[in-house]
Amino acid sequence: MEGTLDLSIILCLHREGSLLTATLQSLRDAIFFTRADGLNVELVGVLDDPDALTKAALVEWSAGLPCSVQIIEVNNKSLGLSRNAGSAAAHGEWICFADGDDLISYNTFSTFYSWARRWGPRVVLMPEWLLTFGGRASVNLVLPLRLVGPLNLLTSNPFVSRICLHRSAIGRTQFVNADPQNGYAYEDWHHHCEMIACGYDVQPAPGTILFYRLRDNSLSAFSEKFSSRAIPPSSLFEPDVFLHRCQDDYKSYRSDRGGECGGLLLHRQSCGGVLETSLITAAHRIEAAIGLSLTELPVATPLSEYHKSAGSLYFRLCHAIRDTAVEHVFITGGNQRQFFGGYGLFGAGTNQQNQLMLSFRTDAKPNYPEFIHRQGRAQITDANIIIEISHDHKANEAICLKAIQSLFGSQTRISIGNDEFGSAFCRRFGHALGISEGFDSNARINLVDWR
């Protein structure tokens, strides 16, 4: 059967209960529309530790679909692992993902397939529009990778999780188990990074819409509350990969410094006619919370000077130290002299020619960050490379995290000063990184107090 189907739709469900009614109706309309276009599709329903209501709703609904259906049960309690299970069972040439909370425009799968055939197997497709409803209403335009630029992925996820990709990509990149209780989250953001690292393009399919339901008890809300709000280590941020994938974006950003980075809001007339079509009306008939007044809201884009500047600092950091063998890294919030005043307490046995200091300063103007690469400063002799990075606190934390995850080998010792920056960083990432509070000779990363 493999290769005989055009599309496999992977629907991952957990315990959505009554919310499924609108979701399943939306999917049914999209599947019937796709079949009317002559495409052969299948549905793979993945029930991950479901309740009885969710399981019964899927079985009853799927019986009336004009396509083949598989239903599998797992106990992953993980959206990423359940997507992997569904992908492994799928037979379609192209794989599309769906979740239990949200709705899609009825033309989504048909349009995905049309553009997938045009762009080829090295593309990841997603809806062009993201319309949120429920807790907050908003209209967001999803832009292609060439316009967003991979630098943005360091501190933001400019894309959406409802993707379509060729089955050949499944073997290259799996979804991770991003368990917030282990410190990390956002398996979709991580997956986007991995696909870009592998050289895949990201493209929105013109004229398609994801209607995203905002609710307090969603997985996204749980991740915001209980995780460090960061993704697990990704190969995109390894120095050679990041420098290769981001070089054009970095050159473009540096040449455009001081100019407008795309703008945050678009005028209505710039957005084409998609928001004035029957797509929103059809979704409104299924789910009344999707208001027709959405067409009157301003349109936001993911373009941001802030995210680009943070990514560019990490790019320069990768370039500065990628070929440097580092045995010991010192991280401080800016007070270098105070840090090295207590160096003798924990520096014994290290080679002073293989030491690096990262000094993070909080800048009052985060859109104009600074990066100062200083080597062999006479007044500070305990580190042979000193790099100062200045941005706001959030960006500094993200750069520091990626540096620890990706720039330094498993044998590199890391000492984080117990100053304002270091203590805040360890509160947020200590669990995920396994940071030891107080010097422990057996620990790789220590939060140390030199005062």
pLDDT tens sequence across 188-201: 999 999 999 999 99
Instruction: Work out the average pLDDT over 66-87.
Output: 96
Sequence-separated (6 or more) residues with CB below 8 Å from residue 192? 124, 153, 157, 159, 202
List, by residue range, all CATH 3.90.550.10 domains of the chain: 5-305
The yes-or-no verdict on residue 381 having pLDDT over 70 is no
- The DSSP secondary structure of 136-166, one letter per residue, reads --EEEE---HHHH-GGGGGT---S-S--EEE
- The DSSP secondary structure of 9-62, one letter per residue, reads EEEEESS-GGGHHHHHHHHHHHHHHHHHTT--EEEEEEEES--HHHHHHHHHHH
pLDDT value, residue 191: 97
Closest by Cα among 400, 431, 409 to 328: 409
Quote the DSSP letter at residue 49.
Answer: S
Helices (H) and strands (E) in the chain, counts: 14, 18
Distance CA 63, CA 61 (A): 5
pLDDT value, residue 349: 47
Give me the CATH topology for the region 324-448.
Rossmann fold (3.40.50)
Q: What CATH homologous superfamily does 5-305 map to?
A: Spore Coat Polysaccharide Biosynthesis Protein SpsA; Chain A (3.90.550.10)
Q: What is the dihedral of CA 21, 27, 30, 36, to 10 degrees?
A: -90
Count of positions (residues) in the chain: 451
pLDDT value, residue 336: 63
Answer for the pair 145, 203: CB distance below 8 angstroms, yes or no: yes
Residue of 346 and 353 predicted with greater confidence: 353
pLDDT value, residue 267: 47
439: left (phi over 0), alpha (psi -120 to 50) or beta: beta
pLDDT value, residue 310: 95
Residue of 330 and 352 predicted with greater confidence: 330
Strands (E), 314-403: 328-332, 355-362, 370-375, 385-391
The yes-or-no verdict on residue 383 having pLDDT over 80 is no
CB atoms near residue 15 (< 10 Å): 16
Q: Considering only 114-123, 274-283, 401-410, which range has the smallest mean pLDDT?
A: 274-283
The yes-or-no verdict on residue 288 having pLDDT over 60 is yes
The yes-or-no verdict on residue 393 having pLDDT over 70 is yes
Residue 352 CA, chain-centre distance (Å), reads 37
The yes-or-no verdict on residue 85 having pLDDT over 60 is yes
The yes-or-no verdict on residue 358 having pLDDT over 70 is yes
**Reported confidence tier of residue 72, pLDDT bands at 50, 70, 90:** very high
The yes-or-no verdict on residue 450 having pLDDT over 80 is no
CB atoms near residue 285 (< 10 Å): 12
Q: Work out the percent of the chain whose per-residue pLDDT is above 90.
A: 65
- Tell me the residue type at 5: L
Instruction: Work out the average pLDDT over 127-134.
Output: 94
pLDDT value, residue 50: 95
Residue of 385 and 429 predicted with greater confidence: 429
The yes-or-no verdict on residue 379 having pLDDT over 60 is no
pLDDT value, residue 285: 95
- DSSP element (H, E) containing 42: strand 41-48
Distance CA 416, CA 406 (A): 17
List, by residue range, all CATH 3.40.50 domains of the chain: 324-448
Distance CA 396, CA 245 (A): 22
Taking only the tens place, the pLDDT of each residue in 2-59 is 447 999 999 999 988 888 999 999 999 999 999 999 999 999 999 999 999 999 999 9
Q: Work out the percent of the chain whose per-residue pLDDT is above 70.
A: 84
Taking only the tens place, the pLDDT of each residue in 143-154 is 999 999 999 999
Distance CA 310, CA 371 (A): 11
Distance CA 198, CA 122 (A): 9
**Reported confidence tier of residue 276, pLDDT bands at 50, 70, 90:** low
**Reported confidence tier of residue 364, pLDDT bands at 50, 70, 90:** low
Instruction: Work out the average pLDDT over 425-444.
Output: 86
The yes-or-no verdict on residue 112 having pLDDT over 80 is yes
The yes-or-no verdict on residue 259 having pLDDT over 50 is no
pLDDT value, residue 162: 96
pLDDT value, residue 380: 41
Q: Considering only 241-250, 266-275, 351-360, 401-410, which range has the smallest mean pLDDT?
A: 266-275
Residue 304 CA, chain-centre distance (Å), reads 16
pLDDT value, residue 174: 93
Residue 92 CA, chain-centre distance (Å), reads 26
Residue of 115 and 374 predicted with greater confidence: 115
| Angle (nearest 5°) at CA 130 between 231 and 6 | 85
Taking only the tens place, the pLDDT of each residue in 206-255 is 999 999 998 765 455 444 554 478 999 999 999 999 999 999 999 999 88
Answer for the pair 162, 98: CB distance below 8 angstroms, yes or no: yes
Q: Chain-wide mean pLDDT for the chain? A: 86
Sequence-separated (6 or more) residues with CB below 8 Å from residue 199? 122, 245
Residue of 445 and 385 predicted with greater confidence: 445
